[in-house]
């Protein structure tokens, strides 16, 4: 059995997606402000950004503050749209997943119209702008393209450093001051990559029964192209 196969998995930690856990930085401050002020043209907003930029976290923050329904675009076609719209505020993560699926596109079209009729709010999140989703239903495409749009940038060093520090603290891992600058210079620039990297370092630390150090991090990064 190889060393990687013997490596113990770290304990799964609950993902905290509250406003208090959201780290504000120049790359996300405008989007957070737009969600918090809550007044959007025609009550609809499209939030875009690369993987790991914080879209899902922002949707949870907004949904919690507005008592909104939060669901994934992949399940929209099978959802009870009338019941969901009756809540008055809806957030759809991975909204571009509806594209090309007749049932899902039709469901989002009806959801949009029901919310608009009652003065509700619709928040959609995806990696790309609506024009790149490949929506087939013309009426849906035109309505979504008319929505206000705000983008999230890739996290900068300040945000990644804060997130890495929090992730290490959440796992009760004491790390040397030099570690985070070392990681920032070499890791993939996303919050998702930061989460995977810290989990991998935690697992390797337990496997070797050694603390998380710069040397251990260098070994882990050499083993995995994902973090280079």
Backbone angles phi, psi at 178, to 5 degrees: -75, -10
How many domains in the chain?
Answer: 2
Instruction: Name the β-bridge partners of 70.
Output: 91
Look up the CATH number of the domain holding residue 185: 1.10.8.60
Asked whether residue 78 is assigned to any structural domain, the reply reads yes
Asked whether residue 24 is assigned to any structural domain, the reply reads no
- Domain end, chosen from 121, 151, 181, is at 151
Asked whether residue 5 is assigned to any structural domain, the reply reads no
Please list the pLDDT of the chain residue by residue as tens digits (228 residues): 344 444 444 445 555 778 888 888 899 999 999 999 888 999 999 999 988 788 999 999 999 999 999 999 999 999 999 999 999 999 999 999 999 999 999 999 999 999 999 999 999 999 999 999 999 999 999 999 999 999 998 888 988 999 999 899 989 999 999 999 999 999 988 888 898 999 999 999 999 999 999 999 999 998 875 554
Asked whether residue 10 is assigned to any structural domain, the reply reads no
Based on the fold, state whether residues 188 and 209 are members of the same structural domain: yes
Look up the CATH number of the domain holding residue 100: 3.40.50.300
Asked whether the beta carbons of 127 and 51 are under 8 A apart, the reply is: yes
Based on the fold, state whether residues 126 and 160 are members of the same structural domain: no
Q: What's CA 120's distance to the chain center, in Å?
A: 23
Which ranges in 25-96 belong to alpha helices (H)? Answer: 29-37, 55-66, 81-85
Based on the fold, state whether residues 133 and 35 are members of the same structural domain: yes
Task: Domain of residue 193: give its range.
Answer: 155-227
Taking the C-alpha atoms of residue 189 and residue 191, their distance in angstroms, rounded to an integer, is 7
Based on the fold, state whether residues 166 and 78 are members of the same structural domain: no
Based on the fold, state whether residues 81 and 124 are members of the same structural domain: yes
- Domain end, chosen from 118, 151, 184, is at 151
Q: What secondary structure letter does DSSP report for 191?
A: H
- Domain end, chosen from 132, 151, 170, is at 151
First-last CA distance in the chain: 26
Integer Rg of the chain from CA: 20
Q: What secondary structure letter does DSSP report for 138?
A: H
Based on the fold, state whether residues 137 and 34 are members of the same structural domain: yes
Based on the fold, state whether residues 78 and 145 are members of the same structural domain: yes
- Record the tokens describing residue 164, joined without a space: 């890495």
Q: In what side-by-side order are the strands of the sheet with 44-48?
A: 69-72, 89-93, 121-126, 44-48, 148-151
Based on the fold, state whether residues 63 and 140 are members of the same structural domain: yes
Backbone angles phi, psi at 46, to 5 degrees: -110, 125
């Amino acid at each position: 059995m190889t060393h990687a196969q013997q490596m113990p998995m770290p304990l799964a930690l609950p993902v905290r997606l509250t406003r208090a856990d959201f780290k504000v930085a120049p790359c996300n401050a405008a989007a957070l402000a737009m969600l918090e002020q809550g007044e959007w043209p025609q009550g609809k907003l499209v939030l875009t950004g690369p993987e790991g930029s914080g879209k899902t976290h922002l949707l949870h923050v907004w949904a919690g503050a507005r008592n909104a329904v939060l669901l994934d675009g992949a399940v929209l076609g099978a959802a009870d749209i009338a019941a969901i719209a009756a809540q008055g505020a809806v957030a759809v993560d991975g909204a571009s997943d509806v594209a090309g699926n007749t049932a899902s596109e039709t469901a989002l079209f009806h959801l949009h119209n029901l919310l608009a009729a009652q003065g509700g709010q619709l928040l959609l999140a995806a990696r790309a702008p609506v024009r790149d989703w490949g929506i087939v239903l013309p009426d849906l495409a035109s309505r979504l393209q008319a929505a206000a749009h705000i983008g999230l940038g890739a996290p900068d060093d300040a945000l990644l450093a804060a997130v890495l520090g929090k992730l290490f603290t959440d796992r009760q891992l004491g790390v040397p001051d030099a570690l985070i600058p070392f990681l920032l210079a070499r890791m993939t620039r996303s919050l998702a990559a930061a989460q995977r990297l810290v989990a991998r370092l935690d697992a390797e630390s337990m496997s070797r029964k050694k603390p998380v150090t710069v040397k251990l991090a260098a070994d882990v990064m050499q083993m995995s192209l994902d973090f280079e």
